[in-house]
């Protein structure tokens, strides 16, 4: 009997790279649920081009519980784990449309957890974010760093998602084994050059907009704030290659499968442990490509934090995971992908 990993949001940026890692490093088949609200169905063909394997695609909104359960019903006894990526993810958009984010991100999680419970699927990985740490004042942050009030509705939905899983497993005694993986700033593209980040909307990340500026697609790059308490006044982030994040999901799934207890929950940071300012990333890109970027200092954006980077010791201790790609690798791979797609 085939064994499937159910990946929600599998046509998205991190989801698609994780499916590639599953196909490349395990014998599992993949079912992807995605309604392509901010992604493209052609991503699945890119996955096939890279891996020579095909997934099962289900086009459905995870907030539509009845249709979701009906479409997943034929596979319910063959799913060994769920990796839940599907969510809206733009901090600026969440500030403008908070109810949209609360409804989509929380309802979709509740529905997929209920599907897991009803069908005795015990292994669950939740796509969380370093945004749960809010406007933290000291870095590196560990998984035990107290979580303050979040800076945005998006970040709040990630905090709520983690709390739902924690309480269901530890208090309500749900038979789940789950990790919440807290990503820092994913960038880069698959080294084949055949897939990378390409949302339909909200291309708000620094690196995609660096590439668009370099290509002349936008007249100038906005640097939001240069009056932060950092080495050059611009925000500090922990940038991590998307393929490093993808590999951590496969290791986390394999770890969950090896755990014999029926009730387990933990959180893990996925970052490099190094922080770079916005201007440092811009300068590194200019060094790599020999392209001078036009950028403009703009006002701070609401919801942005000053500086954050990870302590990733726990990921190594529990999953035997360490990031392998440098900032240069991230920018080179993103450039190779983006110059043909942006």
pLDDT in tens, 304-313: 889 999 999 9
Segments making up each domain of the chain, as ranges:
4-188+240-273+309-324
- What mean pLDDT is predicted for residues 190-209? 86
CB 142 within 8 A of CB 311: yes
Report angle CA 91, 237, 249 to the nearest 5 degrees. 80
pLDDT at 186: 96
Say which CATH topology domain 4-188+240-273+309-324 has: Rossmann fold (3.40.50)
Q: Which residues belong to the active site?
A: 154
Q: Considering the chain, what percentage of its residues have pLDDT values greater than 70?
A: 99
pLDDT at 64: 98
Q: What is the pLDDT of residues 126-176, one digit of tens each?
A: 999 999 999 888 899 999 999 998 989 999 999 999 999 999 999 998 999
Residue 199 has pLDDT above 80, yes or no: no
The answer for 120, left when phi > 0, alpha when psi is -120 to 50, beta otherwise, is: left
pLDDT at 301: 85
- What mean pLDDT is predicted for residues 189-215? 88
pLDDT at 135: 86
Question: What global pTM score does this model have?
Answer: 0.96
- What mean pLDDT is predicted for residues 296-315? 92
Residue 259 has pLDDT above 90, yes or no: yes
pLDDT at 1: 82
DSSP track, 47-115: HHHHHS---EEE---TT-HHHHHHHHGGGTTTEEEEEE--S---HHHHHH-HHHHHHHHHHHHHHHHHH
Give the C-alpha separation, 159 to 140, whole Å.
19
Give the C-alpha separation, 249 to 112, whole Å.
18
DSSP 8-class letter at 305:
-
- What mean pLDDT is predicted for residues 21-25? 98
**Which of 91-105, 157-171, 198-212, 277-291 is predicted least confidently?**
198-212
pLDDT at 340: 84
pLDDT at 204: 72
pLDDT-based confidence at residue 201 (cuts at 50, 70, 90): low
Q: What is the pLDDT of residues 61-118, one digit of tens each?
A: 999 999 999 999 999 999 999 999 999 998 889 999 999 999 999 999 999 999 999 9
What's the mean pLDDT when you consider all of the chain?
A: 95
Give the C-alpha separation, 99 to 286, whole Å.
39
Q: Considering the chain, what percentage of its residues have pLDDT values greater than 90?
A: 90
Q: Which two tokens stand for residue 300?
A: 């701070």
pLDDT-based confidence at residue 341 (cuts at 50, 70, 90): confident
Report long-range pairs for 148-151 (Cβ below 8 Å, ≥24 apart): 151/91, 151/303, 151/304, 151/305
pLDDT-based confidence at residue 293 (cuts at 50, 70, 90): very high
- E-only strand ranges, the chain: 4-8, 29-33, 56-58, 79-84, 123-129, 177-183, 185-187, 221-224, 236-237, 239-241, 264-270, 276-277, 295-298
- What mean pLDDT is predicted for residues 47-70? 98
Q: How many CA atoms lie within 13 A of 181 on its CB side?
A: 28
At residue 85, φ and ψ (nearest 5 deg) are -100, -35
Give the C-alpha separation, 47 to 30, whole Å.
11
- What mean pLDDT is predicted for residues 306-330? 97
Residue 302 has pLDDT above 90, yes or no: no
Selection from 216, 214, 223, 237 nearest residue 298 by Cα: 223
Give the C-alpha separation, 152 to 241, whole Å.
24
pLDDT at 237: 96
DSSP-based three-state secondary structure for 17: helix
* Alpha carbon 235 to its chain's center: 20
Selection from 275, 152, 283, 307 nearest residue 221 by Cα: 283
Give the C-alpha separation, 286 to 67, whole Å.
48
């Amino acid at each position: 009997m085939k064994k499937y990993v159910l990946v929600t949001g599998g046509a998205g940026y991190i989801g698609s790279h994780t499916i590639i890692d599953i196909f490349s490093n395990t014998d599992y088949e993949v079912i992807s649920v995605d309604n392509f609200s901010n992604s493209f169905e052609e991503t699945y063909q890119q996955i096939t081009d890279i891996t020579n394997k095909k997934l099962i695609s289900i086009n459905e909104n995870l907030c539509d519980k009845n249709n979701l359960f009906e479409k997943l019903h034929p596979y319910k006894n063959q799913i060994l784990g769920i990796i839940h990526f599907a969510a809206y993810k733009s901090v600026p958009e969440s500030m403008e449309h908070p109810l949209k984010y609360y409804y989509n991100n929380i309802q979709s999680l509740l529905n997929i957890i209920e599907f897991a419970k009803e069908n005795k699927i015990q292994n669950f990985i939740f796509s969380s974010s370093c945004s749960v740490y809010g406007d933290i004042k000291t870095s590196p942050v560990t998984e035990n760093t107290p979580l303050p009030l979040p800076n945005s509705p998006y970040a709040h939905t990630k905090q709520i998602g983690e709390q739902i899983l924690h309480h269901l497993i530890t208090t309500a005694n749900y038979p789940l084994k789950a990790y919440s993986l807290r990503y820092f700033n994913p960038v880069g593209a698959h080294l084949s050059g055949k897939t990378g980040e390409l949302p339909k909307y909200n291309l708000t990340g620094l690196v995609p907009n660096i590439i668009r500026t370099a290509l002349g697609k936008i007249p100038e790059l906005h640097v939001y704030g240069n009056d932060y308490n950092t080495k050059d006044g611009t925000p500090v982030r922990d940038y991590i290659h998307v393929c490093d994040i993808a590999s951590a999901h496969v290791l986390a799934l394999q770890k969950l499968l090896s755990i014999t207890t029926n009730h387990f929950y933990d959180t893990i940071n996925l970052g490099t442990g190094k922080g770079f300012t916005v201007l440092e990333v811009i300068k590194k890109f200019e060094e790599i490509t020999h392209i001078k970027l036009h950028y403009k200092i703009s006002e701070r954006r609401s919801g942005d934090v000053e500086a954050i980077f990870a302590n990733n010791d726990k990921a190594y201790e529990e999953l035997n995971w360490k990031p392998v790609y440098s900032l240069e690798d991230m920018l080179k791979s993103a450039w190779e992908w983006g110059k043909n797609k942006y």
